[in-house]
Amino acid sequence: MFVKNLLPALVAIGSVAAQSTCTVSTTTVNSQAEATKLASCRTVKGTVVIGSESGASIDISGPKEITGDLRVLDNGVMQDFSSTSLTTIGGSFQMKNVSSLASVQFSSLTSVKTLEWVSVSRLATLKLGPLTKADEVIISDTFLNTLDSINLKTTKKFNINNNGQLTKFSTQLESLEDDLNIQANGIDLEVDLPNLVWIANMAIANVTKFSVPSLEVVNGSARFDSNYFASFSAPNLTHTEEGDISFVGNGALNNMTFPKLTAIAGGLLIANNTGLGQVTFFPKLETVGGAVKLRGNFTEVDFPKLENVKGAFDVSSTADIKKSCEKLLKYAPKTQNGNGKILGTFTCTANNAKANEDTNDTTSGSGNVDTNGDEKSAAGAGVTFPAALLGLVAVAAFASAL
């Protein structure tokens, strides 16, 4: 039923309704007739909930703004949801478990606080303003094959997962303040972030193409797991400010380029990317604040400009990398007769048939993780990705090597 307090509000505003504000704390719309009652409100002050027996089609044209949330939960009947007028949702545009919904057309919607669509598994048609302002976007388990209606320049969180039809995600995003998560979408998914300059954290999995031509800074960590791309390039990336860089289980990967990367504040993990023949793509890398751990089928490893690795340096390959091991040994800690550029334990093993089985974040010879009162560990603890462990363990390795 329509919440009672809406009715007096409507009565009170009378015929000047289209210019008016209707105050509802939460109103539930259970039919098109009830949706039409909102048509005379310019602003709906409060939250609008579409009830689970709404009928197949709901059009909430009329209002330009809903100050609270717009929610549809556990609704198996709605097929079309639309509004030609709504531009702004002050709270969350939330749809969860809306199993028959095929079309969402909010042709004027440009701004929401958060957009959270989860288990809207038939949703195939989407038209928004396009959406240009949102702090957080979660799109999970839909039938969408494009997200062109979402075109943000910046946001805090963007999570796109389990959208099996999604084959292209191309956006003007310039910066992202918190986390970008992309995983388990269509297996042909191509991700293009042509304008992205800095990003706090990203975790990218199951993607077939990934492009970040403008990326300069990763403030936190970047993690790439189980992707299908053959090459990865970060032509403008100079450093990470706090976190790790990790590539694990990207079986097709055979070429990587990081021509400008000079510093990784956390650790570097490259493991079980079995197509990768060499790890020689860090021509300028000087400092690593955590550990370096490499596992794979590569025949050559080279870090020509290495100056300082705070943690362990741990390399193992299925192939014969003895020559590379000998070359890298010069950077080993003084206790291992090197020049001390690597502060943690240096390990390098060739012809290890099981090299690819060890993909975790810990490095061998690192001892216990001890974060007590350690500045570096405290900084790393703010990073949410598991690979942050690499930084923590590295500090322990450093400590035990002293």
Ligand X SMILES: *[C@@H]1O[C@H](CO)[C@@H](O)[C@H](O)[C@H]1NC(C)=O
| Residues that bind ligand X in the complex, under the rule CB under 6 A | 74-76, 97, 99, 177, 183-184, 198, 200, 205-206, 213-214, 217, 219, 225-226, 231, 233, 236, 241, 249, 251, 255, 257, 272, 274-275, 297, 318, 353, 356-360, 362, 364
CB nearer ligand X, residue 369 or residue 399: 369
> Whole-number minimum distance, CB 80 to ligand X, in Å?
16
* Least CB distance to ligand X at residue 108 (A): 28
| Strand pairing category for 41-50 and 70-75 | parallel
Neighbours of 24 (CB within 10 A): 24
Closer residue to ligand X (CB): 17 or 77: 77
User: CB of 15: closest distance to ligand X in angstroms?
Assistant: 39
Q: In the complex, what is the shortest distance from the CB of residue 149 to ligand X, in angstroms, rounded to a whole number? A: 25
Residue 11 vs 354, nearer CB to ligand X: 354
The span from the CA of 249 to the CA of 85, in Å, is 47
Of 41 and 282, nearer to ligand X (C-beta) is 282
Strand partners, 112: 89
Q: Which long-range contacts (CB under 8 A, 24 or more apart) does 114-117 make?
A: 114/138, 115/139, 115/150, 116/92, 117/93, 117/142
Smallest distance, Å, CB 224 to ligand X? 9
Beta carbon nearer to ligand X, 225 or 244: 225
**How many whole angstroms separate alpha carbon 378 and alpha carbon 381?**
5
Do 36 and 58 contact (CB within 8 A), yes or no? no
Whole-number minimum distance, CB 258 to ligand X, in Å? 10
CA 86 to chain centre: 28
Q: Report the residue number, 11 or 353, with the smaller CB distance to ligand X.
A: 353
Phi-psi region of 4 (alpha: psi -120 to 50; beta: other; left: phi over 0): alpha
Is residue 298 within 8 A of residue 276, CB to CB? The reply is yes
Return the number of the residue (151 or 297) whose C-beta is nearest ligand X.
Answer: 297
Determine how many CB atoms are found less than 10 A away from the CB of residue 372. 6
Shortest distance, CB of residue 278 to ligand X, whole angstroms? 9
Q: Is 311 left (phi over 0), alpha (psi -120 to 50) or beta?
A: beta
- Shortest distance, CB of residue 96 to ligand X, whole angstroms? 8
* Cβ distance to ligand X smaller for residue 217 or 399: 217
Residues 6+ positions from 350 with CB-CB distance below 8 Å: 317, 319, 320, 321, 322, 325
Alpha helices of 22-136 — where are they, by DSSP H?
32-36
Q: Are 343 and 308 in contact (CB under 8 A)?
A: yes
| C-alpha torsion angle, residues 336, 342, 345, 349 (rounded to 10) | -80
- From the CB of 286, what's the least distance to ligand X, in Å? 18
Q: How far is the CB of 6 from ligand X (least distance, A)?
A: 25
CA distances from 267 to 20, 263, 287, 394 (A): 56, 10, 10, 8
Nearer to ligand X, 109 or 276 (CB): 276
Residue number, 205 or 306, with CB nearest to ligand X: 205
- Asked if residues 294 and 328 have their Cβ atoms less than 8 Å apart, the reply is no
